[in-house]
C-alpha cells in the first residue's frame, strides 16, 4: 500500500473516532419529508470517550429548507434510552397525547413517499420528553396493523404508553422469544 493511501485511511479512522456525529443518508437523493414525518433517527454510540457520539440516519429533507437535527435537542423525541427521532419542527409545536392515543404510525410502502417507509408522529407522549428512560423501555407500543389502507401497503399504529419495558416488547412480543424448528 502506498503511503498516501495509508495516510487517507488513518485520517478517516481518526475522523470517525473523534467526530461528534456520523451521518448516513437512507435514500439518495433525499426525498422531501411528508407532513409529520421523522426526518432522522439518531442513535447514541456508547464508548469510552468523554464526549457523546451519535450515529444519524437521515430519512428525508425537511420542507422549505428547514433544519433536520443530527443530535438530541429541541426537535427530537426520545424513542428509548439511546435513540431519538428528529423532526422538522420544534417538539413544543406538537400536540400532547394521552395514554392510549395513536402517537406514531409506521407507513410501509407509503404512496405519498414514493413507496418508501417512514414514521409519522401525530403527538408527543410524556415519555417522549424523558431524559432518564431505563434501558429497554419505550415511549410507545404496537397496537394494531392495518392492511389495504389507501395511504400505504401496511401501517403499524403505536400507542402512547405509561410504561413500555423490554419484558412486553415495543411491537407486542414477549421479548427474547425462542423459535424451534423440528423436522418431520
Question: For the segment 100-155, what is each residue's pLDDT rounded down to a tens digit?
Answer: 899 999 999 999 999 999 999 999 887 656 555 555 556 678 777 888 789 999 99
**Segment 80-89, tens digit of pLDDT:** 888 999 999 9
Residue 149 has phi, psi (to 5 degrees) of: -85, 140
Q: Which is it for strands 138-149 and 152-164: parallel, antiparallel or unpaired?
A: antiparallel
Look at residue 16 in the predicted model and tell me its pLDDT.
Answer: 44
CB distance 41 to 86 below 8 Å = yes
Joined grid coordinates for residue 39: 426526518
Q: In this structure, are residues 116 and 34 in contact, taking their beta carbons and an 8 Å threshold?
A: no
Split at pLDDT 50, 70, 90, the class of 27 is confident
When pLDDT is cut at 50, 70 and 90, the band that residue 9 belongs to is: very low
Residue 13: pLDDT above 50? no
Residue 25 buriedness (CB in 10 A; 0-12 / 13-18 / 19+): middle
C-alpha distances (whole Å) from 68 to each of 7, 39, 107, 113, 143 are 33, 6, 20, 17, 28
What is the tens place of the pLDDT at every residue in 150-184? Answer: 999 999 998 887 654 444 444 444 443 333 344 44
Task: Kindly tell me if the per-residue pLDDT of 3 is higher than 60.
Answer: no
Cis status of the peptide bond prior to 43, with omega within 30 of 0: no
At residue 138, the pLDDT reads 65
* Average pLDDT, integer, range 93-103: 90
Residue 147 contacts residue 153 (beta carbons within 8 Å): yes
Amino acid at each position: 500500500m502506498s503511503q498516501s493511501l495509508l495516510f487517507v485511511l488513518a485520517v478517516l479512522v481518526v475522523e470517525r473516532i473523534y467526530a461528534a456525529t456520523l451521518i448516513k443518508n437512507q435514500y439518495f437523493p433525499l426525498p422531501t419529508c411528508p407532513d409529520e414525518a421523522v426526518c432522522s433517527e439518531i442513535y447514541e454510540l456508547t464508548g469510552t470517550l468523554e464526549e457523546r457520539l451519535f450515529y444519524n440516519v437521515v430519512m428525508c429533507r425537511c420542507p422549505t429548507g428547514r433544519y433536520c437535527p443530527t443530535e438530541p435537542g429541541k426537535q427530537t423525541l426520545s424513542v428509548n434510552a439511546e435513540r431519538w427521532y428528529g423532526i422538522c419542527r420544534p417538539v413544543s409545536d406538537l400536540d400532547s397525547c394521552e395514554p392510549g392515543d395513536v402517537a406514531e404510525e409506521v407507513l410501509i410502502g407509503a404512496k405519498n413517499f414514493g413507496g418508501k417507509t417512514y414514521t409519522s408522529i401525530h403527538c408527543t407522549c410524556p415519555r417522549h420528553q424523558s431524559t432518564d428512560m431505563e434501558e429497554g423501555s419505550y415511549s410507545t407500543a404496537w397496537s394494531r396493523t392495518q392492511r389495504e389502507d389507501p395511504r400505504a401497503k401496511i401501517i403499524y399504529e403505536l400507542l402512547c404508553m405509561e410504561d413500555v419495558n423490554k419484558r412486553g416488547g415495543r411491537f407486542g412480543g414477549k421479548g427474547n422469544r425462542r423459535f424451534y424448528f423440528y423436522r418431520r
